[in-house]
Amino acid sequence: MTQGPRYHVKPRRRREGKTDYRKRLSLLRSGKVRMVVRKSLKNTQIQLVEYKEGGDNILVSANSGELTGKYNWKFSTSTIPAAYLTGLLAGTRAKKKKISECVLDCGRYQPVTGSKIFASAKGIVDAGVECPYNEEKIPADDRLMGKHLDDSIMSAVNDIKDKITGGK
C-alpha cells in the first residue's frame, strides 16, 4: 500500500536550470578549489571558490571590466582575448593567496571548443595555477591574442599581459 504523492518536486535551482547538482557534487568531492567562470554579453567573471558547509567562500575574483579601468584596455570586454586576460589576472591573484591548483567549473554551460571558458582556463594556467583541461578545447593562439579581431589588439594584449604578470 503506497502513501504520499507520486510526483517529487525538484529543487528550485534545478527547476530554473541554474544548478546541475550531480556535476556540483562531483566537483565538491574532489576537495579542490573550484574555478567558476560565468560569462555575460559584456563581461566574463572568474571566481575561485572554496566549499564551506555554511556556504561557498570566494577566495579570488576577477572581472573583465577591470581591464578597462586598471589596465587601459580599449577594446570590448566580451571577447576571447579579454577572457584570457581576465583568467591571467585571476591566476596572479590566486598565486598571491597561495592557491596552487583548482578545478574548472563551467556550470550549466556546454564545453564548446574554443570558447571564452577555455580561454579563461588557459589564462589561469599561464599564471601558474594548476588546472586540468583538455588541450583540444583551448582556442588557437591567434584567437587568444585577438588576431581574428584586429591587428592592433595583439600589441595591447601583450602589453597588458606584461603588466599583469609583472614583466615575467
What DSSP string runs through 148-166? TT-HHHHHHHHHHHHHHHT
Looking at residue 2, what is its pLDDT? 66
Looking at residue 168, what is its pLDDT? 61
Where in the chain are the domains?
A: 17-165
Looking at residue 111, what is its pLDDT? 86
Give, for all 168 residues of the chain, the pLDDT tens digit: 667 778 888 999 889 988 888 888 888 888 899 999 999 999 999 999 999 989 889 999 999 999 999 999 999 999 999 999 999 999 999 999 999 999 999 888 888 999 999 999 999 999 999 999 889 999 999 999 999 888 889 999 999 999 998 876
Q: Give the CATH fold of the 17-165 domain.
A: Nucleotidyltransferase; domain 5 (3.30.420)
What pTM, to 2 d.p., does this model score? 0.88
